[in-house]
Amino acid sequence: MTGTTVPMNGHANGAAKKGGVAKAKKYDFKPVNHAEFAQKGMALYRAPSLLQPHRAREAILDSHQGKIPPLLGYYMGLSSPPLAKVVAQLGYDLVWIDWEHASTNVETMTQMVHDIQFISEGRTHALVRVPGHDHAAIGFALDAGASIVCPQVDTVEQAQHIVSAAKFGAIRNGTRSAPPARFMPGLSDTPVDPSRTLHECLNDQAAIIIQIETVEGIHNLDAILTECGEYIDSVWLGSLDARVSMGLSGMGGVEPEWLEAVALFESTLTKHNQAVSGFSLGPPEVRAVLSKGKSFLMVAADFHSIVGNGLQDLASSKAEYKQQSQEGVYKRIDI
């Protein structure tokens, strides 16, 4: 697709490639007032029904272009609707539901998506990391009203399959099945743009985030974005998996081969003007490095808070509560 413009829905949407750099995507939705983002958060980009995905593609692009601040997310690695109900009230822009590594079934994932979007009243949008590239799993997450994160994308063919599974309509080789009982007539099927069909709008609402998690994926990223970049809304470097694929250990390092791989990854993103996402956890100096160039960040996580706070609380409690006899500590009153 290099050097060509591919319409996304009959309108002049998409990101045409010119000289290897992607033009800004354009959407036919009613413009948002970016100055209201601080007050409304992702509610500024919500759909007519919270059963639909937010206008997440547009929000990520706006953040990438500096029209709004970076989107801030909470990572949920634990499969827990009660916890999702609490996190939904915290005010994060995005909540990541990890369906890849958590013991989650379709019903639980769907419940968590609905809890996040309804209890937050649209201020927070749900992301679901799907378990691999399974066509059905991609559809389940999108049908629930979430955007999707697809792990371990190594090749152009895999990226093409993901886009096909996530989109309606043959114009983009879309193979997603229209869910008849999800968007109910007269209740939840109102399109964001009344001049277009519901399914055209849905294609431009939910975001696709791909994770590059091997050195093979890093080397193929240029070809992936050249072929599918107009449909990929953000790229995430899975540092741990990528390092493991190279025979390295840990989340970070300064090995020459790793620094070379990261430099190639970053150069490719710059070439395609591609939005980037990732974790930003740890002390301020670490977060400053991790957040560089990213349009949305996972700045908190359930496991991170539980482990970090739990260990700190335990250590301080052990220091505070010394071994001693508790016999006779309370004053006895004879009645």
69 closest CA partner among 94, 97, 95: 94
Tokens 């378990």, residue?
131
233 closest CA partner among 4, 30, 22: 22
What six digits make up the tokens of 96? 């990541």
pLDDT score at 122: 98
> For residue 62, what are the CA distances in angstroms to 66, 194, 236, 256?
6, 22, 17, 35
pLDDT score at 15: 40
pLDDT tens by residue, 237-279: 999 999 999 999 887 789 999 999 999 999 999 999 999 999 9
Judge residue 294's burial from the number of C-beta atoms within 10 Å of its C-beta, 0-12 exposed, 13-18 middle, 19 or more buried. Answer: buried
247 closest CA partner among 215, 200, 272, 217: 215
Q: What is the mean pLDDT of the chain?
A: 91
pLDDT above 60 (res 227): yes
pLDDT above 90 (res 129): yes
pLDDT score at 25: 67
Residue 282 and residue 220: Cα distance in Å, rounded? 30
Euclidean distance between the first and the last CA atom of the chain, given in angstroms as a whole number: 90
pLDDT tens by residue, 94-123: 999 999 999 899 999 999 999 999 999 999
Segment 203-225 shows an average pLDDT of 97
User: Which of 16-30, 135-149, 303-317 is predicted with the least confidence, judged by mean pLDDT?
Assistant: 16-30
User: Which of 14-28, 110-124, 176-190, 245-259 is predicted with the least confidence, judged by mean pLDDT?
Assistant: 14-28
DSSP 2-22: TT----SSSSS-S--EETTEE
Neighbours of 305 (CB within 10 A): 13
Residue 293 and residue 295: Cα distance in Å, rounded? 7
109 closest CA partner among 119, 122, 95, 93: 95
Of the CATH numbers 3.40.50.2000, 1.10.287.130, 3.40.50.720, 3.20.20.60, which one belongs to the domain with range 34-316?
A: 3.20.20.60
DSSP label at 193? S
pLDDT score at 65: 97
Residue 84 and residue 13: Cα distance in Å, rounded? 34
Segment 302-311 shows an average pLDDT of 90
Which residues fall within 8 angstroms of residue 227, CB to CB, at 6 or more apart?
1, 156, 159, 160
Residue 103 and residue 112: Cα distance in Å, rounded? 13
